[in-house]
Amino acid sequence: MIKQCFQAEWLKMRRSHIWVVFMILPLVSVIIGWANYVMNQGTLQKEWYSLWSQVGLFYGEFFFPILIAIGCSYQCRLEHQNKNWHLVLTAPVSLAALFAAKLGVVATLLLLVQAFFCLLYVCGGLLAGLPASLPAELPGWLLRGWIAAMTIAVFQLALSMRIKSFATPVGIGLCAVFFGLGMYVLKLGLFFPHSLLTVGMGVLSQEGLDFGSNVVFLLMNALFGVGISTVSLRRLRKSDVLA
Amino acid sequence: MRKALSLEFYKLRRKYVLPMALLFLTVELVWALIAVSMSFERNRDSAGWEVIVAMLSTMNGLFLPLLSAIVVSRICDMEHKGNTWRLLRSMAVQPGKLYAAKYACAGLIMLGVCLCQVLAIAVFGVQSGYLTSVPLVLLARFLFGTLVTTLVVLALQQWISTVVKNQAFALCLGMLGGFLGMVGDLFPEAARRVFVWAYYTGLSPVTQQYASEKMQFVVREAGPISSAAAVLLAVAALLFLMGRRHASRLEG
């Protein structure tokens, strides 16, 4: 059932040109970060780590969360038009499968975005004349970033399913970004979805997480993901949809 | 025109545009003013209205393009969603007038945001205990620069939001604008002139300069800023007219 729902959701993305948005934002953040790194190589001497701090800062802190918000809003856009929520909710599929399919599509897109960002980072580094050996932490940064991105996606999907407007969930997401930044500064980064992304991707501190921190990171993501999706699905079951 | 404008505000009832704009503004102000008060506590001699204005100008470069994108998207998307462009045309509402009413509506909302910001600066400055008499001229110049830049950004956003149904693109442009507004000062002068979002700091009455490894806040002369503002207003008018022409020719 989930597979069919996923295929249906994927079909809705056809000819949407949403991939343009998903490519432009990482591209711009890498170009600016790379240019800043190249111009300040005298100060930024930690090679790949310094480059990561430059390209990852804007991407992980601002662009990626907003990209997730835009993607989730887009996933619910069709349903909010022409009373399509009624149509979708009367289909013989469970709400959980519907939610999982939407999340699955967003997660796939985010995985592709992470891969594209990684490619740009590596190309940028090689272009800047850095040695071929990449940081050992890179797979961890990317994987943890993707996991935290899925947690944010659950939060954004819950908002987008509830709010008819396309822009409002994105605006709320942006406010959450700044709240998350504050939580990170207060060393409470593991207790808010948006600051989990900052911690996971190592955008402000490139030190890798130890085993214990990794376990806490995964647990908090699971807790937020399950908690928010449960509340969202419960709400969808109990209350009427204003399509 | 007045009726069309009042109808735009009527349509925004229960759309929570104003509360959302205020929430956005609150986040910006909290962030900026915390940073300013920390700076004042670290170095009491540096306390001045110029620091607050410079900080808010930089923050505006990030926040206001995004807020403008969201406000305009909300105002235009409701017509896309309800398929009401054609309905409004069939009711003898001129497309150009409707476009102008939407622009005026977004402009008035952003004017309210900018006024709230100026009021917050004045209250914070007096409450902080470091500063006394409110510099009305400086704040008026700050308000003017912010508003002029916002009018250009609004014209651009409205064009995109009206012509392209998928609001993801308009919001993507807003996000890019916010990014360019924030890092615009790092670009060379020629590049900075092209990016309209960089004028939040470009038209600010206060600029930051490094002298003997120390940051100084300098009040700019009004002359060069006024001529840049005049050019920017012309750009806003041009973007508005081009957007209106394009939108009027669309098949509803």
Chain segment A199-220, per-residue pLDDT in tens:
888 877 767 677 888 899 999 9
pLDDT score, position A206: 67
Contact B81 A168 (CB under 8 A): no
Of A36, A66, A166, the CB nearest to B175: A66
Identify whether the C-beta of residue A28 lies closer than 8 Å to the C-beta of residue A66: no
Tokens of A98: 């519907």
pLDDT at site A185: 86
Q: Residue holding tokens 């989730």?
A: A72
Read off the tokens for A107: 């997660």
> Please, are residues A31 and A63 in contact by the beta-carbon 8 Å criterion?
no
Query: Could you tell me if A221 and A87 are in contact, meaning their C-beta atoms sit under 8 angstroms apart?
Result: no
Q: Is the pLDDT of residue B36 over 80?
A: yes
pLDDT for A142 = 93
Asked if residues B202 and B58 have their Cβ atoms less than 8 Å apart, the reply is no
What length does chain B have?
252
Q: What is the ipTM of this complex?
A: 0.77
Q: Read off the pLDDT of each residue in B150-174 and give the average, rounded to a whole number.
A: 93
pLDDT at B35: 87
Counted residue by residue, chain A has a size of 243
B144 has a chain A CB within 8 A of its CB:
no
In this prediction, residues B131-142 reach a mean pLDDT of 88
Q: Which residues of A touch B66 (CB under 8 A)?
A: 171, 174
Between residues B21 and B1, the one the model is more confident about: B21
> Which of A77-81, A239-243, B52-56 has the least mean pLDDT?
A239-243
Tens of pLDDT, residues B39-73 = 888 877 777 888 899 999 999 999 999 999 999 99
Q: How many C-beta atoms lie closer than 10 Å to residue A101's C-beta? A: 22
- Condensed to tens digits (0 to 9), the pLDDT of residues A119-146 reads 999 999 999 888 878 888 899 999 999 9
Of A78, A166, A168, which to mutate for an interface test with B (greatest number of B Cβ within 10 Å)?
A166
Strands (E), B190-236: 206-211, 214-219
Is the pLDDT at B92 greater than 80? The verdict is no
User: Does the distance separating the beta carbons of B169 and A21 come in below 8 Å?
Assistant: yes
Q: What is the mean pLDDT of residues A87-100?
A: 87
Phi/psi class of residue B47: alpha, beta or left (left: φ > 0; alpha: ψ in -120 to 50)? Answer: beta
Phi, psi values for residue B208, rounded to 5°: -105, 135
3-class DSSP assignment, residue A206: coil
d(CA A124, CA A174): 28
The shortest CB-CB distance from A171 to any of B70, B169, B179 is to B70
Between B101 and B130, the higher pLDDT residue: B101
Average pLDDT over residues B146-157: 96
Q: Are A72 and A156 a contacting pair, CB within 8 Å?
A: yes
